[in-house]
Structure 1
Amino acid sequence: MNNVLNNIVLSIIFGLIGILLLVFGYWFFDKVLTKVDFNHELREKNIAVAIVIAGFMISIGIIIAAVVF
């Protein structure tokens, strides 16, 4: 029972770390690497920017999953 609890706690911790890294990666990509204000473009319903952000988040998520697990 104790081993199961440890696995649940570790899964929650790694999940939170993954989410934080994904948010940081999005911020870094938005503010540092590009000159485009993605939040403004999303408010203007720019579908191309939404697709780029979705692809970026999926790729960063795959990288984080490979590193964390």
Structure 2
Amino acid sequence: MEMLKLDFLVASLVYSLLGVIVFWVSFIILDKLTPYDLWKNIIEERNQALATVVAAMCLGIALVVASAIH
């Protein structure tokens, strides 16, 4: 029952929230660094290649954040 302690649960929630915030901030920074609007190109123009690159970037950032939290 030690795994269900409130301290561990709160710490996990705080680190998860922090990870999501770091992920979104890094995505916004990457979006600002590119010469075009990523969201417009993916959604409106349906650019599959760009969507694949952005998905790989999201997975990379998520992996770094998850490793840092772990």
TM-score normalized with structure 1 length: 0.88
The Cα shift of 1:36 comes to 1.9
Count of aligned pairs: 68
User: Unaligned 5+ residue runs, structure 1?
Assistant: none
Q: 2: distance between equivalents of 1:52 and 1:4? A: 40
Aligned to 1:34: 34
Secondary structure at 2:5's aligned position in 1?
Answer: helix
The Cα shift of 1:53 comes to 0.8
Aligned to 1:47: 48
Opposite residue 36 of structure 1, the aligned amino acid is Y
Quote the sequence identity (%). Answer: 28
Q: 2: distance between equivalents of 1:49 and 1:14? A: 30
User: Unaligned 5+ residue runs, structure 2?
Assistant: none
Ranges of 4+ aligned residues in structure 1 off by more than 4 Å: none
The Cα shift of 1:52 comes to 0.8
CA-based RMSD of the aligned residues comes to: 1.6
